[in-house]
């Protein structure tokens, strides 16, 4: 069975409810942009590329099922308003803002054509949104291929044989339209016979690692071990045969023009640990995650989430012997009354990043330590 976070056919969208994973695989129907806004805000769907695609497709579904104005300008105005609204759901990942910008351009072009009607604008929008779903999977497969080749060629362990890798958060099929970015690199190494072992962090406080990445690794039969976030330094010191980590590979929510990268909270400390232990640190992301308009990490808005994500955990009841999947409990794991700071992301400075893996290749810094990310957009229309 293929893991699918997003199920789409024209006029219908279902998302896998990631709050219920790994214990239950249930899909929610998404009928409108309002449904998508709530699903994204509540993190029933999450991961930078998946957020953008769900938002774009939700509006496509709404448009296909609604009674449409015959006037092109009115349909365009409706779409633009809904896209502006969708972008407010989560601020850090740029993929959604990037998708909204491109979709606005599509409808502006369609509405600007002579004798265009409402149906023409809708059709142009729906086609462009559907293309995003298809493109994301092929981009991820290419990221996986380029990343795996780079690791084999550029790490000491890779030159000698199969490698062990560490990843953080969830960047797999659940965070994208399919295959994944950083987890796609691990998938690609595995399918080439170049992976010895994968390690994933728990990724507190939302546990994307233990709930989602571990679920994907088990699903794909990839040899893997879960660690808590605080075990990463100890793991990097180990030099046993499977623990000898060749590289840490993570995803991204926004890569600034200079390469500074916003990603799941805890990424920054992993980058420091990698540098301290002589381990390569790689960011894997499609070009839709690279934001040339944001100069550096200082300009990235970091989403802060409710404190209860830190003080509470939720899961099916366990009576000490077995799980009861029918009873979901929320339990407190912190002292009542304590203040909580819960930034969802942090920024890793480009100095700590060895390579940015994209669908068009791996970008490395020049001899002055500068990433030239603008070069990978050359030749693209309108960018
Ligand atoms: O808060 P989340 O779960 O949406 O955060 C996800 C991450 O930080 C991922 O690493 C990133 O979005 C890339 S997903 C391919």
Going from the C-alpha of 214 to that of each of 98, 111, 219, 220, 269, the distances in angstroms are: 29, 46, 8, 10, 21
Where are the extended beta strands (E) located within 301-376? 312-318, 323-332, 345-348, 355-358, 361-363
pTM for the whole thing? 0.95
Q: Is residue 207 lining ligand 1, measured as CB closer than 6 Å?
A: no
Q: What is the CATH number of the domain that holds 28?
A: 1.20.120.420
Q: Which two tokens stand for residue 42?
A: 């509540």
Residues 131, 176 share a domain:
no
Instruction: Give the pLDDT score at 383.
Output: 47
Q: Is residue 361 part of a domain?
A: yes
For the CA of 172, the closest atom of ligand 1 is 15
* Final residue in a domain of this structure, among 136, 166, 186: 136
Distance CA 5, CA 52 (A): 13
Q: Is residue 324 part of a domain?
A: no
Judge contact between 261 and 353, C-beta under 8 A.
Answer: yes
Residues 151, 131 share a domain:
no
Q: Is residue 319 part of a domain?
A: no
Residues 294, 238 share a domain:
yes
DSSP 3-state of 366: coil
Q: Is residue 158 part of a domain?
A: yes
Residues 167, 289 share a domain:
yes
* Final residue in a domain of this structure, among 116, 136, 156: 136
Residues 154, 126 share a domain:
no
Q: Which two tokens stand for residue 13?
A: 């969208």
Question: Which residues pair with residue 304 across a beta bridge?
Answer: 343
State how many domains the chain has.
Answer: 2
Q: Which long-range contacts (CB under 8 A, 24 or more apart) does 366-369 make?
A: none
Mean pLDDT, the chain cut into blocks of 10 residues (383 residues total): 92 96 95 98 97 98 97 98 97 95 98 96 98 96 98 95 97 97 98 97 97 98 98 90 87 98 98 96 97 97 96 91 89 96 98 98 98 92 51
Q: Is residue 111 part of a domain?
A: yes
Q: Is residue 333 part of a domain?
A: no
Q: Is residue 192 part of a domain?
A: yes
Instruction: Give the pLDDT score at 185.
Output: 98
Instruction: Give the pLDDT score at 381.
Output: 60
Residues 176, 114 share a domain:
no
Residues 346, 271 share a domain:
yes
Residues 189, 50 share a domain:
no
Helix ranges (H only) for the chain are 33-41, 48-65, 72-87, 94-112, 118-154, 156-160, 182-191, 214-219, 232-237, 267-276, 308-311
Residues 72, 30 share a domain:
yes
Q: Which two tokens stand for residue 330?
A: 């929320």
Q: Is residue 48 lining ligand 1, measured as CB closer than 6 Å?
A: yes
Determine the distance from the C-alpha atom of residue 37 to the mean position of all C-alpha atoms in its chain, rounded to a whole number. 17
Going from the C-alpha of 53 to that of each of 5, 115, 131, 288, 301, the distances in angstroms are: 11, 30, 10, 11, 21
Distance CA 213, CA 146 (A): 21
Q: Is residue 175 lining ligand 1, measured as CB closer than 6 Å?
A: yes
Q: What is the CATH number of the domain that holds 280?
A: 3.40.50.10470
Question: To test ligand 1's pocket by mutation, which of 15, 18, 21, 46 has the most ligand atoms within 8 angstroms of CB?
Answer: 46
Residues 177, 242 share a domain:
yes
221 secondary structure, DSSP code? T
Q: Is residue 140 lining ligand 1, measured as CB closer than 6 Å?
A: no
Question: Which residues pair with residue 123 across a beta bridge?
Answer: none
Residues 162, 183 share a domain:
yes
Nearest 5°: the CA angle 269, 272, 275 is 150
Instruction: Give the pLDDT score at 382.
Output: 46
Look up the domain containing 18 and give its range: 6-136
Residues 287, 222 share a domain:
yes
* Final residue in a domain of this structure, among 71, 105, 136: 136
253, 260, 291, 354: the active-site residue: 253
Going from the C-alpha of 20 to that of each of 16, 227, 292, 322, the distances in angstroms are: 9, 21, 36, 18
Q: Is residue 365 part of a domain?
A: yes
Q: Is residue 344 lining ligand 1, measured as CB closer than 6 Å?
A: yes
- 253: annotated active-site residue: yes
């Amino acid at each position: 069975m293929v893991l699918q976070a997003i199920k789409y056919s024209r006029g219908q969208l279902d998302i896998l409810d990631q709050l219920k994973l790994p214990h239950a695989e249930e899909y929610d129907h998404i009928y409108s942009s309002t449904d998508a806004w709530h699903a994204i805000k509540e993190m029933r769907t999450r991961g930078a590329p998946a957020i953008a695609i769900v938002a774009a497709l939700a509006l496509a579904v709404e448009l296909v099922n609604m009674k449409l104005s015959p006037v092109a300008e009115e349909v365009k105005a409706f779409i633009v308003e809904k896209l502006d609204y969708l972008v407010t759901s989560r601020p850090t990942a740029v993929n959604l803002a990037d998708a909204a910008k491109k979709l606005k351009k599509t409808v502006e072009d369609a509405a600007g054509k002579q004798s265009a009607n409402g149906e023409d604008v809708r059709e142009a929008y729906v086609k462009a949104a559907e293309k995003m779903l298809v493109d994301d999977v092929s981009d991820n497969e290419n990221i996986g291929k380029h990343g795996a080749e780079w690791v084999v060629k550029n790490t000491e362990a890779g030159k000698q044989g199969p490698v062990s890798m560490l990843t953080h958060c969830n960047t797999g099929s659940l965070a994208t339209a399919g295959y994944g970015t950083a987890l796609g690199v691990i998938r690609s190494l595995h399918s080439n016979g170049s992976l010895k072992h994968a390690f994933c962090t728990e990724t507190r406080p939302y546990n994307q690692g233990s709930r989602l990445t571990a679920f994907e690794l088990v699903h794909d039969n990839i040899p893997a071990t879960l660690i808590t976030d605080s075990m990463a330094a100890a793991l990097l010191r180990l030099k046993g045969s499977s623990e000898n980590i060749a590289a840490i590979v993570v995803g991204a929510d926004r890569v600034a023009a200079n390469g500074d990268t916003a990603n799941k909270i805890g990424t920054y400390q992993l980058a420091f640990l990698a540098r301290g232990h002589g381990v390569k640190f790689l960011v894997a992301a499609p070009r839709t995650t690279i934001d040339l308009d944001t100069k550096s990490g200082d300009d990235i808005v970091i989403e802060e989430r409710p404190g209860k994500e830190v003080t509470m955990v939720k899961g099916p009841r366990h009576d000490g012997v077995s799980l009861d999947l029918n009873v979901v409990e929320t339990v407190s794991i912190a002292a009542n009354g304590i203040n909580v700071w819960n930034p969802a992301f942090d920024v890793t400075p480009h100095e700590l990043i060895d390579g940015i893996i994209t669908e068009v290749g791996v970008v490395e810094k020049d001899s002055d330590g500068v990433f030239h990310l603008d070069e990978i957009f050359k030749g693209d229309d309108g960018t």
